[in-house]
Amino acid sequence: MIIENHKNLNMETKRENVVRPIDPANFLTEETGSEEKSPGCFSIDFTVAVVLPAGGSGERTGLSTPKQFCTFLNRPLISYTIQAFERIAWIENIVVVIAKDSIDLMVNIIQQFGHKKVKVVLGGSTRHRSIFNGLQAFGESEEESALKKPKVVIIHDAVRPFVEEDFLLKIAIAAKQQGASGAIRPLVSTVIATTSEGYLDHSLERAKYRASEMPQGFLYDVIHQAYVQCSETDFEFGTECLHLVLQYCGTNARLIEGPHTLWKVTYKKDLLAAESIIKETLAQTACVVAGQCEESSRLAGALQKTLGSQDMHVDIVPTSLRRSSAFISKTWNFVHVTVNTAGLADVEELVKTFEETAHSVLYSVVLILVHLDVSEQTSASERMAALGGIRSLAAEAKRKNILLYGILLNPVKDAGQWEEAVENLSQIISALIKERSPALAGQLLWV
């Protein structure tokens, strides 16, 4: 919806600086040099819940599956959106409103990906009816199924997965203060009106208008009262919740300019873009697991430097700490450096740790075994044989959403050749981490 930008509208405009999307989870913290606050670091003194209408058919994607259930990186789109809210401590409940024939699918998604704050509600025949059904999941009822009525409710599209906590906080606080709030964005194209014959009638002055986006926040009592009073025409043809609270409750929403990451998955290409964004964000960190020997430490330090030059934050962790929760929670990308021994037992132990901690449930874990054989007596065929077991281990790990790769690094004595080898190794590691290709899992690469 397009909103006219009159001066008397209560609108907050912020400079656009940080445009990086939501962190996949709470791993981009101050420890990694990020200036952004990690998820869950804010607190508020009133209750907030979320309603996610997700009953659409997604016809514009051209796919048989509704877009909210389309899968990328082994996970449906709606799960990413749920997690964006679920990871925020001050959001108490998330109501997902689903079409009748998709309820079983949604329940399976909740169970498979361990979502804890979610309640599934049957949707209506239109978007507004679905939102009203979601709002009625809260209330003063003594029934066990009823959720506690929140002070503020946030309404958001299930197919907008990249919403950040700091912006949600602005929406929630503005809703509490004003009664309603909504995200807006500048128009990127001129809006025109056409005649019935298909000719230009007139155009709008783009600077005077804004695109209405999600999320939108409301005092629960205000939005609920608006829906109780609205007409059948509103339920059938209305699209804008902000208009309903203005018309029926006299509540003029505070409009807040949001980041460009609020975009909505509408077409098939948007699913590919969402996958690319998730991959890019996941690839920002890595851990190198290294032994105490000189060669292992040397290679780990060199990888930290070269991968760091590619804008990847890299921590070096000794093998003795590889099972610690602090180590596991840092990233979804791990490079295990071994010298003279294949280290498959250590890698198998890591795979078991990832499974026990459920670290690979939400995102695939990339685990790269780098084998540096400094023994001049070991032949190439012997080195390959030493890592032969990686294929069967990788096949088992892939079923647990863990992508295991192997790289053989030839021993190099010349300093110049060593730097070149490390640079090539870093390029391969970076590519494996960024692509996260299941097809290459179990492959042995040679540098």
Q: Of 278, 299, 315, which one is at a domain's C-terminal end?
A: 278
Reported pTM: 0.86
211-237 burial, b at 16+ Cβ within 10 Å, e below that, comes to bbbbbbbbbbebbbbbbeebeeebbee
Which CATH number characterizes residue 126's domain? Answer: 3.90.550.10
Count of the separate structural domains present in the chain: 2
pLDDT of residue 443: 86
State whether 105 and 161 are in the same domain: yes
Peptide bond into 161 cis (omega under 30): no
State whether 261 and 410 are in the same domain: no
State whether 268 and 303 are in the same domain: no
State whether 155 and 211 are in the same domain: yes
Q: What is the C-alpha to C-alpha distance for residues 171 and 48, in angstroms, rounded to an integer?
A: 11
Q: What is the C-alpha to C-alpha distance for residues 60 and 64, in angstroms, rounded to an integer?
A: 10
State whether 267 and 152 are in the same domain: yes
Supply the Cα-derived Rg of the chain in whole angstroms: 26
Cα dihedral sign, 83-86-89-95: positive
State whether 113 and 44 are in the same domain: yes
State whether 78 and 139 are in the same domain: yes
pLDDT of residue 4: 60
Contact 180, 242 (CB under 8 A): yes
State whether 219 and 312 are in the same domain: no
pLDDT of residue 23: 53
Q: Of 256, 278, 300, which one is at a domain's C-terminal end?
A: 278
For residue 7, what are its two tokens?
A: 């001066």
State whether 105 and 26 are in the same domain: yes
pLDDT of residue 91: 97
By three-state DSSP, how is residue 102 classified? Answer: helix
pLDDT of residue 21: 37
Domain carrying residue 314: 283-446
For residue 225, what are its two tokens?
A: 């009262």
CB atoms within 10 A of CB 62: 9
State whether 358 and 438 are in the same domain: yes
State whether 134 and 232 are in the same domain: yes
State whether 10 and 58 are in the same domain: yes
Contact 332, 402 (CB under 8 A): no
For residue 22, what are its two tokens?
A: 């939501």
> Any residues with CB less than 8 A from the CB of 292 and at least 6 apart, and which?
318, 319
Q: Of 242, 259, 278, which one is at a domain's C-terminal end?
A: 278
CB atoms within 10 A of CB 202: 9
pLDDT of residue 7: 44
Per-residue pLDDT 10s for the chain (447 aa) are 666 654 444 444 333 333 333 455 443 333 333 444 555 567 899 999 999 999 876 565 556 789 999 999 999 999 999 999 999 999 999 999 999 999 999 999 999 999 999 999 999 999 999 999 999 999 755 566 679 999 999 999 999 999 999 999 999 999 999 999 999 999 888 889 999 999 999 998 888 888 899 999 999 999 999 999 999 999 998 878 999 999 999 999 999 999 988 989 999 899 999 999 999 999 999 999 988 788 889 999 999 999 999 999 999 988 877 667 777 888 999 999 988 665 788 888 889 999 999 999 999 999 999 988 766 656 666 666 666 678 889 999 999 999 999 998 877 778 888 899 999 999 999 999 999 999 999 988 888
From residue 18, how far is each of 159, 344, 443 by CA, in Å?
A: 22, 41, 38
Which CATH number characterizes residue 427's domain? Answer: 3.40.50.360
DSSP-assigned beta bridge partners for residue 368: 335, 405
Separation of CA 238 from chain center: 30
